[in-house]
Chain A
Amino acid sequence: MNKSNKPCLSAMSIEDKVALLTGNGLWKTAHLPAHGIEPLTMTDGTYGVRYSPEQIDNDGNWSITDFLGVVNQHADDQTDKKGSEALFGHTLPATCFPNGSALACSWDNELVEQMGQALARECQALGVDILLGPGINIRRTPLSGRGYEYYSEDPLLSGELAASLINGLQGEGVGASLKHFACNNSEYRRTEMDSIVDERSLHEIYLSGFKRAIDKADPWTLMSSYNRLNGQQTSQHRGLLHDILREQWGYKGLVMSDWYGVKDRPASLLAGNDLAMPEVARDKSELLSAIESGEVSIDAIDTACMRMLELIERIGAARKQPRPVDMPAHHRLAQRIAEESIVLLKNTDDLLPLDTTHTHKIAVLGPAAHTPVIQGSGCATTVPSILDRPLDEIIDVAGDAADVTYSAGVADGATSSEQALLLASAQAEAADVAIVFINTAVGEDGENGDRQHLDVVASHAELLNAVASVQSNVVVVLMNSDAVVMPWLGQCKAVLETFFAGQGVGRAIANLLFGLKNPCGKLTVTVPNSLEETPAYLHYPGEALKHYYSEGIYVGYRYYDKRKMTPCFPFGYGLSYTSFEYRSIELVNDKLGTGESLQVDVTVANTGVRFGKEIIQLYLSFPGIELAQPPLALKAYAKVALKPGESKTVRLTVGADDFRAWHPALHDWIVEAGCYQVKVGPSSRELPLSAAVQVAGSDYRLPLKEDSSLVQVIKDEQAFQRVVTLVADKSGLDQAVITERLQAIAPELFCGLFIALTEFLNVPVSRPELLDALRSE
């Protein structure tokens, strides 16, 4: 690859090179016909292809009104005709797949890969080379405006699913852009905020999903984020983009900025942000001046250009002939993913699935039954190719089996209305079961702004309350960006949590309600009892533009587990219409040497009467002696399909690297030696199977200083031996005696070693002598 690029690079002028490292219009890269360089086309977003003919085909520029139009785009523009005409002018219809927050609940790598393939086919039909996704920022707080696009509060699950999506996309010849790198975990003043994250949390929680996706799927591009991280703009953060990404992880692809995310072009280039998007004249002129002044070396420019040329070559080789897209097939895929992703949170008295032999009259209530909230609001917002309305699909599936009535129960989608409420109550009372659709406020999620609270729309909660007072069989169908609080949970017997499940959500809901499909999604975030108990609450959203991630590594379930708090619904939770029994666990190897991975065989049976799928989850409990640890960390999972009465044994693998922890004193990963508990079950709070594995651990020496305690020094055999030798030298005592006495007295010595030796034990050592003994090799 390099061979073919190099002649090209040597023939290019500085101006050409600068052009190559800057966008061309809004969505393309440089066109340099003299060097045979054709532009690449890219477009948003994370769950649908947002193609703007004006901006891409006509090289239109982004006027301020267009820009505001996209950033302030509300999802209901898509389904509500108001404003839709303006929108059709903006982007072409495309399959609106389940958003990240829904998709992830499928825990289904294969299905996510299929979605990636479908997205790629839609890209290719439009001539799009790179799709700007997936986005996998950790869902640290449910308030985050873009939580709906992201996968989980857990880095392993985020990284696995991202890898699957990327493999799907790139396998079909379309580049991915893994984003947003890194620590853009809320939208509040997102381009100004400085995320202050401790080293260990950064590596173990916020970066490890990116690392996993890179290791497993090698995304062709990666996108830096809008925020600052520990004081530096991420697009200009060499520690992040070079030291960690390139040197530690060995990433070879291209780094691009988020749109207008570069504040200082020369600094961003030097940091390793190769491509600045979109085209900004000032970026080019500033970079040119910096090259002329010598601030930026030609070597640095050439390195970035090489990555661009390699990307262009990679895409050129992978690009397929545009073919017509089978949109109905993609719609069916969107329906299937929605079916696999919706989570059944509650099902008292087995109210679901609806039994049409006894349920003759169904009251469907709530505006989202007719106008479903299928996606969030922002740059990912997609004009759906087809739309399944839950009410229409319920009627279609119910057919002749039941009578269905509907009323919105509120006015204009969200306004309380006594009259609407009376009608809804009357319908609910007359029915055998009421299905109430409630959602979060449309448009409150989104870019550059977070939610202010975790409640559903107030009038929807009122509707549920009114319905519950006249009808005991109430099913709630939830449509929400990220977790909501559920003070109304006692008013219903069943809850289907859909998050934002895309254009096929209506059919998926209908199929699940009537039992044509069996729910199998599980939560990828913890559902809290209150906003105030959430892990990030105390320091959210930061002050003076600094946002301290004060909960450290205790993000999501790690926090609830550590504090022994009971959330409303735990991470990994989800019910089924059938029942599963976790029968046995067997470790293929119960002692692990350095660099060995763990293999675990788990047998699960379907003990119910319906076909169903179960997501088997494996968590590790670390010894937690050297480094404090959360009680549980997800390390492997598998989704298994079981017929009634069937049992299967599934092999789960925990990679050697998944036993690692980041040691902030060593600035490196360690594996702590000791006994690790392997726990397996249907959710993070129900782990019936367990086994223990002995892990050899990695060799590491902690740095010792003159004020390190004797207890710490004794742990380091070599250092302790040198100290014993030093003390023997100074005191003339026998080394064995010294060793014995120091070990015996160590717990009593509350001072650091230097003071202990000189003041308490009267050993005349000097500082340099002691430091020499304590030095690391």
Chain B
Amino acid sequence: MQPFRLVNAQSDKQAVAFAGTCEVITYDSAQLNIFAAELSHCQPHWHEAPELVYVLKGALSLTVHQQEVTLNTGDLAYIGPDLIHALENQHQCALLTLQFSPQLGHDTHTLPAGFGHFRADTPVARQLVSQCFTLLERVLQPDAAFFALQACTYSLLVLLEEQLGQQPQIPAGTATDSREEMVIRQSIAYINEAFAEPLTIADLADRAYLSYSHFSRLFKKVSGYSPSDYLAMVRVNHAKPLLKSMQVPITDIAERAGFAEHRAMLAAFKKYCGVTPTEYRKQYYADFEWRADDERVTSTPNKPLALSSARKMMQASILNQ
């Protein structure tokens, strides 16, 4: 299961590539990556590029830095550079995501750090939405002028810079030693790929050429999670869509997600989901709308939405205010 990376199907300017580490996002000359999707889930990951998400409809939970935040329709969230984050659909959720290339700081400045949650119907959110909408309209113009687009992007960053200064700060995942950071990034990338294997923390430490305790401390320092917590969370996130699908026996799901046995899955779910996997599965089955939709949700984790439809949804919600 890949992290939440989607391609703007409308534009041929996009360029998203996956390279070695957790997630590297590349950009065209506009230094902006913008896409919309109906979200199922997106497991913990991080990237240097900060992102702004806008909830087009429904609700989702966002886990960032070991806290869980519910985002409702019209809410925005800004996730600063290198913050580990995970997304999970709560109810028929669709998202517009803007990712800002670090190049927008021209090597001399970093983009706004930290995390911000902007609730719908607050003056700040209205400002941000309005600016996002302008930007989206520009992007959708077939021959959008380069400087106009850049100006729009920077206007948005101006707003974010102002606001983040006023938000309670979560320390960004700033590893002092870039070599150490790289080691943990590689470890995270490895977990994201190999979680289904019987991984142990000792194995991971060995791979990083670090002692068990040093590795654990460093992992926590860099990612905000202990390696065992992170591994369990990745496995839980992998198990969730399988549980929703109803097709796969629960014991097979535990195995596919890399849990040595169902008891490990039970413990991980209690910790990261608050309910047992059995209860989790039934909660979704009991949601009739979701159940009627399950074919789509299981076939693609996140269904791309055309930016033009995102624009329509956004326009409707602005008009409603």
By the criterion CB–CB under 8 Å, are A389 and B250 in contact? yes
Q: Would you call A399 and B266 a contact (CB within 8 A)?
A: yes
Nearest opposing residue in chain B for A399, CB measure: B266
> Which residues of B are found within 8 Å of A395, using beta-carbon distances?
250-251, 262, 266, 277-278
Q: Assess whether A404 is in contact with B285, with CB atoms less than 8 Å apart.
A: no
Q: Indicate with 1 or 0, residue by residue over A626-666, a CB within 8 angstroms of chain B CB atoms.
A: 00000000000000000000000000000000000000000
- List the A side residues contacting B261 at CB < 8 Å: 403
A445 at the interface (CB under 8 A from B): no
B267 contacts which chain A residues (CB < 8 A)?
400
Contact B250 A81, beta carbon cutoff 8 Å: no
A267 contacts across to B, CB distance below 8 A:
none
How far does the Cβ of A739 sit from chain B's closest Cβ, in whole Å?
Answer: 82
Residue from A88, A364, A386, A400 whose CB has the most chain B CB atoms within 10 Å: A386
Q: Roughly how many angstroms separate A393 CA and B276 CA in the complex, as a whole number?
A: 10
CB of A385 within 8 Å of the partner chain? yes
Q: Is A500 an interface residue (CB 8 A)?
A: no
Write the B255-281 contact mask toward A (1 if CB under 8 angstroms, else 0). 000000111001100000000111101
User: Do the beta carbons of A400 and B279 come within 8 Å of each other?
Assistant: no
Q: Is A499 located at the chain interface by the 8 A CB criterion?
A: no
A-B CB contact pairs (8 Å), 16 listed: A88-B292, A385-B288, A388-B282, A389-B250, A389-B281, A392-B281, A392-B282, A393-B278, A395-B250, A395-B251, A395-B278, A396-B276, A403-B261, A404-B251, A405-B251, A406-B250
Q: Across the interface, which residues of B come within 8 angstroms of A369, CB to CB?
A: 249
Q: Within the assembled complex, what's the spacing in Å between the Cα atoms of A385 and B291?
A: 10
Question: How far is it, in angstroms, between the C-alpha of A760 and the C-alpha of B61 when the chains are bound?
Answer: 104
- Known: A81-B294, A400-B263. Contact between A327 and B286, CB under 8 A? yes
> In the complex, how many angstroms separate the beta carbon of A344 from the nearest chain B beta carbon?
24
Listed from nearest, the 4 A-B pairs whose CB atoms lie closest are: A396-B278, A392-B278, A406-B251, A370-B249
Contact partners of B277 in chain A: CB under 8 A:
392, 395
Q: Residue-by-residue, is A162-180 near B (CB-CB < 8 Å gives 1, otherwise 0)?
A: 0000000000000000000
Residue ranges of B at the interface with A (Cβ–Cβ < 8 Å): 246-247, 249-252, 261-263, 266-267, 276-279, 281-282, 285-286, 288, 291-292, 294-295
Which chain A residues lie closer than 8 Å to B294 at the CB level? 81
Selected from B282, B288, B295, the residue in CB contact (under 8 A) with A92 is B288
Bound state CA distance, A93 and B250, in angstroms?
A: 23
Are the C-beta atoms of B282 and A386 separated by less than 8 Å?
yes
Contact (Cβ within 8 A) A385 B286: yes
Measured between beta carbons, the chain A residues less than 8 angstroms from B249 are: 369-370, 391, 406, 408
- Assess the B278–A85 pair: CB atoms within 8 A: no
Q: Which residues of B contact A399 (CB under 8 A)?
A: 263, 266
A405 to B295, CA, bound (A): 27
Indicate which residue in A88, A364, A388 contacts B291 across the interface (CB closer than 8 Å).
A88
- Decide yes or no whether A387 CB sits under 8 A from chain B: yes
Asked if A396 and B279 sit within 8 Å, CB to CB, the answer is yes
Contact: B288 with A93, CB < 8 Å?
yes
A-B contact count (CB 8 A): 65
| Additional 6 contacts, C-beta under 8 A, given A81-B295, A331-B286, A391-B250 | A81-B294, A386-B286, A392-B250, A400-B267, A403-B263, A404-B262
CA distance A406 to B261 in the complex (A): 11
A412 to chain B, nearest CB (A): 13
Chain B nearest CB from A121 CB (Å) reads 17
Say how far B274's CB is from chain A's closest CB, in angstroms. Answer: 14
Contacts of A385 in B (CB 8 A): 286, 288
A338 CB → nearest B CB, Å: 15
A602 to B25 Cα, complex, angstroms: 80
**Most chain A C-beta atoms within 10 Å of own C-beta, residue among B246, B262, B267:** B262
Please state if A387 and B282 are interface contacts (CB–CB under 8 Å).
yes
Residue of B nearest to A427 (CB): B251
A141 to B281, CA, bound (A): 39
**Chain B hits for A92, CB < 8 A:** 288
Q: Is the CB of A400 within 8 A of B266?
A: yes
A85→B281 CA distance, assembly (Å): 18
Decide: B263 and A81 in contact? CB cutoff 8 A: no
* Cβ distance B251 to chain A, nearest Cβ, rounded Å: 4
Please, how many angstroms separate the alpha-carbon atoms of A85 and B292 in the complex? 7
The answer for the CA separation of A77 and B87 in the assembled complex, in Å, is 32
User: Considering only CB atoms, which chain B residue lies closest to A393 in the complex?
Assistant: B278
Specify which chain B residues have a CB less than 8 angstroms from the CB of A405 in the assembled complex: 251
For B249, give the chain A residue with the smallest CB separation.
A370
| Closest beta carbon of chain A to B161's beta carbon, Å | 46
Within 8 Å CB of B295, what residues of A?
81, 85
Can you name the residue of chain B whose Cβ is closest to the Cβ of A403?
B261
A81–B247 touching, CB < 8 Å: yes
> Contacts A81-B246, A327-B286, A386-B282 hold; do A93 and B263 have CB atoms under 8 A apart?
no
Interface string of A74-106 (1 = CB under 8 A from B): 000001010001001000110000000000000
How does the 8 Å CB contact mask read for A213-256 relative to B, with 1 for contact and 0 for none? 00000000000000000000000000000000000000000000
* Distance to closest chain B CB from A477 (angstroms): 15
Instruction: Give, as a whole number of angstroms, the nearest-CB distance from A406 to chain B.
Output: 4
Query: In chain A between 137 and 187, which residues have their CB closer than 8 angstroms to a CB of chain B?
Result: none
Q: Which residues of A contact B292 (CB under 8 A)?
A: 85, 88
Which residues of chain B are near A386, meaning CB under 8 Å?
282, 285-286
Q: How many Å from the CB of B224 to the closest CB on chain A? A: 28
Chain B contacts of A392 at CB under 8 A? 250, 277-278, 281-282
Distance in angstroms between the alpha carbons of A528 and B277 in the assembled complex: 40
* Shortest Cβ distance from residue B63 to the other chain A in the assembled complex, whole angstroms: 24
- Closest chain A residue, CB of each to CB of B266: A399
Query: Please, how many angstroms separate the alpha-carbon atoms of A81 and B279 in the complex?
Result: 19
